[in-house]
Amino acid sequence: MNDTTKQGKNIAIVSYITIIGSFIAFSMNMDVKNDFAAFHIRQAFGLWISFFALGFLVGHANSIYASMALYLFFIILLLYGFTGALSGKKQPVPLLGKLFQKWLGFI
């Protein structure tokens, strides 16, 4: 693990703790400009935005099974990203991770 990863690890971990944590991590990374932290902030913020957008759509379906599937899918992807941040890896979350890096490039 290189110095850049070690320095950004705490910020990366904070980004996965609720959407507020993503905003806090974003503000923490404004001064430091750590590439590892920015990668995980984009992943976490993308997951949270996707969760709320899909939750809005699934909420209109009024189906307990659709809601459970959304929560399960979200928790698995969030844990995948969180464990990547803990282990110091820059691995995008499955399905959407590469798109988050492209769409949220301003972070």
Tens digits of per-residue pLDDT, 33-92?
999 999 999 999 999 999 999 999 998 888 899 999 999 999 999 999 999 999 999 999
Residue 91 to residue 72: CA distance in whole angstroms: 20
List Cα–Cα distances, 60 to 3, 63, 82, in angstroms.
46, 8, 29
- Residue whose C-alpha is closest to residue 25's, from 43, 7, 37: 37
Looking at residue 2, what is its pLDDT?
Answer: 79
Residue 33 to residue 46: CA distance in whole angstroms: 19
| Residue 13 near residue 79 (C-beta atoms within 8 A) | no
- Residue whose C-alpha is closest to residue 16's, from 45, 55, 54: 45
Q: Which residues contact 60 (CB under 8 A, 6 or more apart)?
A: none
Looking at residue 85, what is its pLDDT?
Answer: 95
| Residue 11 near residue 27 (C-beta atoms within 8 A) | no
The pTM of the full predicted model, rounded to 2 decimals, is 0.90
